[in-house]
Structure 1
Amino acid sequence: MDPRIREHAEVIVDHSTGIESGENVVIQLPPEAEDLAVALHELCGDRGANPIWVSNSDRASRAFKRATDSFDEPSHELAFFEETDAFIIARGGANVTEGADVDPETNAAYNRARRDIKEERLSKTWCLTQAPTSGHAQLAGMSTEAYENFVYDAVSLDWDAQREFQAQLVEILDDAEEIRIRSGEETDVRMSIAGNTALNDYGEANLPGGEVFTAPVRESVDGEVYFDLPLYRYGREIEGVRLRFDDGQVVSHSAERNEDLLASILDTDDGSRYLGELGIGMNRQIDRFTYNMLFDEKMGDTVHMAVGSAYEDCVGEGNERNESAEHVDMIVDMSEDSVIEVDGEVVQRNGTFVFEDGF
């Protein structure tokens, strides 16, 4: 076994989830990540936890969705996660476009039926990470070896140092009222974060981490955003997304590629046209775009916004939490002709923060 796999598992168990004796641990990995499953089981055994490996097969999921368009909540799966203390999931299927021929409306219906399961999982200790498989290497335009190096370098960061670096931005946002983001000629959007909490993501729920994120006040978002970096969703690439917000809601939208998929996401439910998250990427170890949102949203010199559900821990008492079966992140490159303003003061210019040299 590659010793880096063992190191990856140790970061997951000890840093990201803090698994303890007696805990019930669900490990959901693709078949291609069996070595990581083995390492995680060894570590759970060392710590007295109770692991179970559930294989997540993109082929099996596609087969089920194409066989039916009528979905009920799987109550047995909900009960399974109700008995779970910690949930570990890794991306890494052999074919990243496996679900490309599933109808967007079917995906939306599937997500609606599983909304309570998603909420139950998110209420537990959880970690989403990446197994460096050849499918994702191909998507990133890298050799398998180069992609393995990229992934393992990103997950084995000095997370204490990263936490301290990001804490400087958290401090700025702690008492903030309004954020304005401007980039080029097509992005100018304002939102209130008054009363909400900015969280420091340093490799816990997401591994790799490397962002500071919060939730906008639900009906405060106004303006236009051009997401100039693409995203993969359900095995299809959505490119050149433009959204216009009025009183928090997406009132017009377009995409240069796969606009039908974007429309189906926005039409999933009442909450899917509102922003649930604003995140600011701060991980400079992630220095290239790989078509993998787990990494891409953490890149330095970027911001991302997610339509759909807001994380409960970000929403302050008295503010409404946006709820949805969807949570879809989209990215704006902030490296040129861009600023982030907090209560009228510029805190980032062309990717450089006010607390960094060169600002």
Structure 2
Amino acid sequence: MSISNFSDKLKKYAELIVKVGVNVQKNQTVVLYISVQQQELAHLIVEEAYKLGASDVIVKWSDDFVNRQFLAHASQERLENMPDYIVAEGNYIVDQKAARISVVSSDPDAFAGLDQKRIATYQSARGKALRPVMRATSNNELAWTVVGASDKAWAEKVFPELKGQEAIDRLWEEIFKTTRIDQPDPIQAWKEHDEKLRSKAAWLNEEQFSALHYTSPITDITIGLPKNHIWEGAGSFNSDDVEFMANMPTEEVFTAPDCRRIDGYVRSTKPLSYSGNILEGMEFTFKDGKIIKASAEKGQDVLEHLLATDEGALSLGEVALVPDPSPISQSGITFFETLFDENASDHLAIGASYPFSIENGTKMTDEELAAEGMNVSQTHVDFMIGSADMNIDGIKEDGTIVPVFRNGDWA
């Protein structure tokens, strides 16, 4: 099976990423993180960005094989210490207010079998070194987007019955469908989608629930929400008031929880691909905002290293609502990639809150954020909890209960 008009669709995709994803402005620096396998898409993105007037497009190539060799063989000293040039590059990106495009296409099992402790050590050191970039990104000071591209190892994981080019084509089809490239005018289609999600976020912002209560046959958890929290859907705005689309696809509206008020238990409903490993059947028990018990049917070791990242990794930083009838959920496909799977399902995130999820949060210090119930952490990992039998109630300050979701869809 080959995709008809593949090169036309890929060109449209590159255009969408540059115009809607990060909305490149004149004289802006653009940084593109992309696999060496995705040269064709990279060239199209670079071309489109320069067409829109970018001053500089910096391409940061990555390679699963090279990364695996590094994690397997680098000295402990190197894993613990980032070279100065990485720190300098991060600071440069922030100073330039660069637009960041991340194209995910890695093998979900890229680092399976490696020593998890080494991976965790490296991720922690890198997280510290790139803290200014992560902070500017999570404050929406910069425009940023995460998108997908089909690669052999990932495609064969998603479609195990297919091999090689057939699997690659099949995954491209799904990527084009979920990002609306199959529609006559993808850019217009995204505008309409943006408005629809905004209206849901506007309703939730008006309600200002004090907490959400999630119930399903495998979940019963109450998650507090901070005062003056802000729900967002689809598009965001950077500090220059330029709209961008942080995730494509996206089907969610999300905010931050009050990380001090989380009680109950929750079980994941989809596999999670995290740091080159697959985790399945995760269960968490929360008391007073902290995870007091955590287990995984697959990937327990990886999960324990994630939760040991820092104090904030023992709580939540995001609650996101995604209707079960969403296109990705209805496709019945598990993508083994959070960008897609989180848009098929209600999800929560272990770790950091986005400061923009609360009024004036982007102007607050870490201490001030924590005082408002916002979670501060070096990590932010989404996991999926939604299903067709998930009910969610909004609980008002005075105890009034308002149905938000019934049987996995907006009530």
Corresponding residue for residue 120 of structure 1: 133
Residue in structure 2 matched with residue 293 of structure 1 by the alignment: 338
Report matched runs for 1:45-194 at 5 Å: 45-49=50-54, 50-67=56-73, 68-70=75-77, 71-84=80-93, 85-93=98-106, 95-116=107-128, 117-121=130-134, 122=137, 123-141=141-159, 143-156=167-180, 158-174=189-205, 175-194=208-227
Q: Please give the root-mean-square deviation of Cα atoms over the aligned residues, in Å.
A: 1.9
Q: What residue ranges of structure 2 are gaps of 5+ in the alignment?
A: 1-5, 181-185, 236-243, 361-367, 396-400
Partners of 2:190 and 2:158 in 1: CA distance: 24
2:239 is equivalent to residue 198 of structure 1: no
Q: Matched residues in 1 for 2:65 and 2:57: separation?
A: 24
Matched, 1:307 2:359: no
Q: Deviations over 1:164-201 (max 9, x none)?
A: 32223212321222111111144333322432211112
- How far apart are 1:231 and its partner, in Å? 0.9
Contact 2:218 2:267 (C-alpha < 8 Å) held by counterparts? no
- For each residue in 1:246-276, what CA deviation from the matched residue of structure 2 results, as whole angstroms up to 9, or x when unmatched? 1111011111112111111001111111101
Is the Cα contact below 8 Å between 1:30 and 1:90 reproduced in 2? yes
Q: 1:75 to 1:281 in 2, by over 3 A?
A: farther
For residues 15 and 247 of structure 1, the distance between their equivalents in structure 2, rounded to whole angstroms, comes to 40
- Which string of whole-angstrom CA distances, capped at 9 and with x for unpartnered residues, describes residues 287-335 of structure 1? 3322111011111xx2111101111211344624322222111111320
Report if aligned partners of 2:220, 2:266 keep a CA contact under 8 Å in 1. Answer: yes
Question: Residues 131-172 of structure 1: CA distance to partner in whole angstroms, max 9, x if unpaired?
Answer: 112222112126222211100111126222222322232123
Residue 118 of structure 1, CA deviation: 4.9
In the TM superposition, residue 240 of structure 1 has moved relative to its aligned partner by 0.7
**What secondary structure is seen at the aligned counterpart in 2 of 1:262?**
helix
Q: 1:27 to 1:316 in 2, by over 3 A?
A: same
Distance across 2 between alignment mates of 1:181 and 1:273:
19
Instruction: Supply the distance in 1 between the matched residues of 2:191 and 2:65 (Cα, whole angstroms).
Output: 38
Write the letter of the residue equivalent to 2:291: V
Q: Distance in 1 between matches of 2:12 and 2:22?
A: 14
Match for residue 377 of structure 2 among 315, 321, 324: 324
Give SS of 1:99's match: coil
Q: Could you tell me which residue of structure 2 aligns to residue 357 of structure 1?
A: none
Residues of 1 paired with 2:383 and 2:300: CA distance?
A: 14
CA distance in 2, matches of 1:108, 1:269: 11
2-structure distance, mates of 1:69, 1:228: 36
Change (3 A) 1:352 1:341: same
Instruction: Give matches, 1:196-345, under 5 Å.
Output: 196-202=229-235, 204-282=245-323, 284-286=326-328, 287-288=331-332, 289-299=334-344, 302-317=345-360, 319-336=372-389, 338-343=390-395, 344-345=401-402
The answer (yes or no) to whether the contact 2:213–2:220 under 8 Å persists in 1 is no
Q: Secondary structure at the match of 2:68?
A: helix
Deviations 1:26-48 (A, max 9, x none): 11100111111101111122122
> Which one-letter code corresponds to 1:309 in the other structure?
A
Separation in 1 of the partners of 2:225 and 2:305? 27
Task: Describe the shift of the 1:111–1:315 C-alpha distance in structure 2 as closer, same or farther (beyond 3 A).
Answer: farther
Question: Take 1:51 and 1:275, find their aligned partners in 2: how far apart are those partners?
Answer: 35
Output the CA distance in 2 between the equivalents of 1:105 and 1:57.
21
Q: Which residue of 1 aligns with 2:238?
A: none
Q: Which amino acid aligns with 1:295?
A: F
Task: Kindly provide the amino acid, as one letter, of the partner of residue 307 in structure 1.
Answer: I
What CA distance in whole angstroms lies between the structure 1 residues aligned with 2:224 and 2:115? Answer: 33
| Equivalence for 2:407 | 350
Residue type at the aligned position of 1:152:
F
Partner of 2:363: none
Q: For residue 334 of structure 1, give the secondary structure of its aligned residue in structure 2.
A: coil
Once residues 347 and 277 of structure 2 are traced to their aligned partners in structure 1, the CA distance between those partners, rounded to angstroms, is 19
What's the TM-score, normalizing by structure 2?
0.80
Q: Distance in 2 between matches of 1:130 and 1:52?
A: 19
Distance 2:168 2:234 in 1: 27
8 Å contact kept, 2:109–2:278: no
